Each structure stands twice: as structure tokens, then as C-alpha cells.
Amino acid sequence: MSAVPCQAITASLFLAIYTESSAQPLVQVEESPVIMKYAVSLLALAVTAMGKEIPKDPKRAADLYDSGLMHEQIMSHKELFWARQRKAGVFAEQWPELHFAQCRDGKAVPFRDQPNNFYRCNNINLHHFLSHQALGSSIGQGSSSWGWVSDDGREFAVIAQGDGAAFAEITTAGKLRYLGRLPQTAGTPTSRWREIRTYKHYIVIGSETYDHHIQIFDLKKLLNIDYKKGPVTFDPVKDLTGFYGNLPDGRAHNVLANDDSGFAYVVGARPRTDACRSGLIFLDLSDPSNPTSLGCAAADGYVHDAQCLIYKGPHTKYVGKEICYGYNEDSLTIYDVTDKQWPEVISVTSYEGATYTHQGWVLDTEWQEFLILDDEYDEYDGRGPAANGHATTFIWDISNLEAPKQTGYYQAPRKTIDHNQYVIGNYSFQSNYGAGISILDISSIPTNPSGSGVREVGWFDIYPEDDNLEGGGSLAFVGTWSSYANYPSGYILINTIERGAWVVKPQTTLP
């Protein structure tokens, strides 16, 4: 049976859906008088903004962010777009397994008899692809991803999907070996938002679906699976190590963990009217079978994502304390969470063009002097430095935690929306929706924080349907949600919304 051309399947469908979504945004949200009022002022700002830190605007924050209005707008827009995709059959089982394809002359061609079926690339080879259906999902939609390396060096992938999490081993040849899955919390509906992080040899899972709460699963259970006997479906009750069931309504937008402190953090747990205000909720994982909450950081409200670390850096006042860098919709918010009963906000800083502060990462966990930050909606709304629609990475000097400075930014060479990025060594591995994964050399930032020295050293585009649009991409919520690149082998796991999971690898070793 011949493989179905990947580009031909949905290129025309995507263009139709993309055009319709752009022309017909979600009316009940877009026409909000509050949204429109701030849109006018931000449009004017976009013309002149160079990308600098500014104080947070309390009135704008209350109207757009503390109210949840902006978050609901973004989620509703995504839901509408994905519903149109689903109706058009984009999430149906149609994606063939792909094997090794070398990146040559800017293209990776999986099938020799289909030269026009290719993925754009630079310095990254395709090693393997499996669809969400091949990875056990019944709804065919993915989100987050993470990885784990066992004590004996085996590399595992955890692939978040709408109906659970799939487990696979990445072989030495770069193949995904599907081992099994953990379904969503028993009795709960599916959710397009599922986030996962490792804590030691456990995976911590949260979801935006009601009554899901937090699952904790021991990844060592994967070590004894005989894949030749077929994948294992774990019981979402009996096979869990632990379960935290005291979130306000069971929903969480994100989870994270800090192995050094022994805590996991739940963020974006709604409703915002709860005592924790959707801020950082502290889960003590000293006994993963009995996770307990020691409090929360409600000040500054909703946290969309964060990174929590034991502080090592130039601000001597905070050395040895546990610091969380929060990405809080319209600000970079830095917390001291050393005392879980009395967490403190160190600083709250916004920036020109702030539309939806989404995620970021510290450049060096051993010397926390700089971080990079992405704003998920500035490209889409055309605001600030991202007014040209090119994915924009903001650079921050955090040498003074009490007064961080936004020193510059980097822009991708193609139009796209940025989503998640993680720093390993001198490189940022960015998942930029339809533009795929981009590897940035960020080693110049400590000596040149303007961003002018940042350069792209690798790229693999996993969504060819928008290749021919102006700017080489689209401002749509398609393609890659996240990636995981912290494998000793150098393989990179990419999880995508429509297709499935990919394993790629740079052609040259990253120093």
C-alpha cells in the first residue's frame, strides 16, 4: 500500500480553515468592549515598540488578565480552530509511519517515490514518526511531551494526548518503540490541554479537564515491559503511585517540578476566584504516594507556566533560596518560595508588546543571570516587536531579581507563533507551532544581551501545509506543541497537535 502524501492531505484544508478562522474570529470574545479598548492602544504601541521592560498596568491587568478574559479568548480561539480541523478530518487516522530521511538541500524526503512530499529543514535529520493513533490515542490530538533516562541509559518518551499519556522508548537507532499508555483520570472527559513533567523517576500529569487533578506515575514500570507482547494500558487508579485530588475543580493548566527541593508546582488551577487565585500551588513530593499541599502563592494571581530553581547567581541576597520564575500572562513575575507558608513576590515586570506572557527558561541554572521568554499571542495580534508576525524571543537580564531588565530580543526568520522553549547548554530548543522545532545558539547572550548574536543552527518543519504562505509560515495554532531534547544520545522528541510524535537529530554534534 502506498503512503499517503503528507503535504497533500491537508494543505488545501488548512488554507480554507486558516482563512475562515482569520476572517471570522470568535465573535463573543473578539467584540468584547474591554478587549477592543486595549487593542487600540496596543496597536499604536506596536508601531514604535523596541522591546523594553515597563511597569505592569494595574487597570489593564485587572480588565484583561485577572478577569481571565484574555486567557478565555485564546483558549476559545484554539477550540474553534481545532473544531474546524476535526470537522475537516485533520485528526483522523491518516498519517503514515515515517522512517529516516536525511536533510539535504533544505529538505527531508521520507519517500523516494514522492519527491514533492518533503519537510523543510536545516541541519536536522528525521529519524522516525508515529501517529497519535499508532501511539494508542483514540482522538488523535497531542500536546505536551517530556522524557526520562533510566539509570542504565535507556531513553523514554512521554507523549501527552487528549485522552492520556503514551509511553515509548527511543531506541539507539532513533526509533519510537510504543510501550503503552496511561489514560486520563477515570471518569473524566478528554482535554486538548495535558501537561507533564518528570520528578526524579516519576511523571506528574495535569489537565484542563474538570475533576482530573494530578496523576503521579512511576516510570520504572516501563522498564519491564516486553514490547513484543504488545503495548500495556495502565489502570488510571490502580497503577498510579500517587494522586492529588484537592485542586479547586480538578483543572490545572500546567505542572512543573524541582528535584532539588522535592516539590511539584501546579499552576493555572482554576477558578481564579479560589483562595490560591490560580497561582503556584506547592505539592510536597517527599512521599510521591501521598502528595500534600503546603500552601500556594496567590499574589499576582494566575500563573501560566514557571520554572522553579534553587538560586545560584549574582544576586547574593537570594543565594540558596528557592526562586520561581513565573510567566503570568502580562508579566515576568519572580517569587521567593523558600518558605511555603509565606511565599513572597520579589518583582513583577511587564514589557512593551506584552500580550500573553507564556513561557520561558533560565539560560544557566548554575548561574541565573539571564532568561529568555516567549509571548504566545503577540505575533498573532501583531503587537510590540512581534508586529511583523515573526516568532519573537525576549531576552531578560535577571542579575537583579528585584529589577529585571528586558535587554533585547531575537526574531525567527519565518512567520509563526512561539509556544515552548527549553535551554540545554548553549542552545534553546523552541517549539514554534507550524514552523516546527528551531535550535538557537544563545551562547552570545551573556556578552551581547541585545540578541543580535543569537543564531539559528538547526530547524525542522513538521507542518508543511503552510509553507507557501507569505513569510514562510502561518499565525495559527497548528504543528508542534512542545519538544524534549535532554537525551544523552542527542535525539529530540517532538510532539505535535495533529500528527503524532517525531524523533529528529542534528546532523552535527552541538558543542
The verdict on whether omega for the bond into residue 189 sits within 30 degrees of 0, i.e. cis, is: no
Residue 476, C-beta contacts closer than 8 angstroms, at least 6 positions apart: 14, 18, 21, 81, 417, 433, 434, 466
Round to whole Å and give the CA distance between 244 and 56: 34
Round to whole Å and give the CA distance between 328 and 305: 7
CA 259, 264, 269 angle in degrees (round to 5)?
160
pLDDT at 5: 47
Is a pLDDT exceeding 80 seen at residue 57?
A: yes
The amino acid at 255: V
Q: For residue 329, what is the DSSP state?
A: B
Asked whether the CA dihedral 9, 13, 18, 21 is positive or negative, the reply is: negative
pLDDT at 29: 41
CB 434 within 8 A of CB 467: no
Q: Which residue range forms the structural domain that includes residue 492?
A: 6-506
Q: Average of pLDDT values for 230-252?
A: 98
Label residue 94 by pLDDT band (50, 70, 90). Answer: confident
- pTM exceeds cut of 0.75: yes
Does 381 map to a domain? Answer: yes
CB 274 within 8 A of CB 253: no
Is a pLDDT exceeding 80 seen at residue 28?
A: no
Instruction: Beginning with the edge strand found earlier in the chain, give each strand of the sheet holding 232-233 in spatial order.
Output: 142-149, 155-161, 164-170, 176-183, 232-233
What percent of the chain clears pLDDT 70, i.e. is strictly above it?
90
Q: Which of 60-64, 90-94, 144-148, 392-396 has the lowest mean pLDDT?
A: 90-94
pLDDT tens across 136-148, in order?
999 999 999 999 9
Listed residue (83, 79, 81, 90) closest to 12, CA to CA: 90
pLDDT at 511: 74
- Exposed/middle/buried for residue 426 (C-beta within 10 Å: 0-12, 13-18, 19+): middle
pLDDT at 44: 46
Is a pLDDT exceeding 80 seen at residue 195?
A: yes
Does 511 map to a domain? Answer: no
Does 1 map to a domain? Answer: no
Is a pLDDT exceeding 90 seen at residue 7?
A: no
Label residue 12 by pLDDT band (50, 70, 90). Answer: low
Label residue 132 by pLDDT band (50, 70, 90). Answer: very high
CB 360 within 8 A of CB 421: yes
pLDDT at 248: 98
Q: Average of pLDDT values for 441-465?
A: 98
Bridge partners for 310 per DSSP: 322
Q: Which residue has the cell 533510566?
A: 150
Round to whole Å and give the CA distance between 438 and 122: 9
Round to whole Å and give the CA distance between 13 and 64: 33
**Bridge pairing between strands 214-218 and 202-207:** antiparallel
| Core vs surface per residue 102-123: b (16+ CB within 10 A) or e | ebeeebbbbbeebeebbbbbbe
Q: Which residue has the cell 515598540?
A: 49
Q: Over 223-282, what HEC string results?
A: CCCCHHHCCEECCCCCCCCEEECCCCCCCCCEEEEECCCCEEEEECCCCCCCCCCCCEEE
pLDDT at 346: 99
Q: Which of 9-23, 206-220, 261-275 has the lowest mean pLDDT?
A: 9-23
Does 233 map to a domain? Answer: yes
Bridge partners for 180 per DSSP: 167, 232
pLDDT tens across 325-381, in order?
999 999 999 999 999 999 999 999 999 999 999 999 999 999 999 999 999 999 999
Is a pLDDT exceeding 50 seen at residue 26?
A: no
Is a pLDDT exceeding 80 seen at residue 41?
A: no
Does 493 map to a domain? Answer: yes
* CATH number for 120: 2.130.10.10
Q: For residue 462, what is the DSSP state?
A: S
Per-chain mean pLDDT for the chain? 93
Element of type H or E holding 497: none
Domain count, the chain: 1
Q: For residue 316, what is the DSSP state?
A: G
pLDDT at 1: 35
Round to whole Å and give the CA distance between 282 and 293: 5
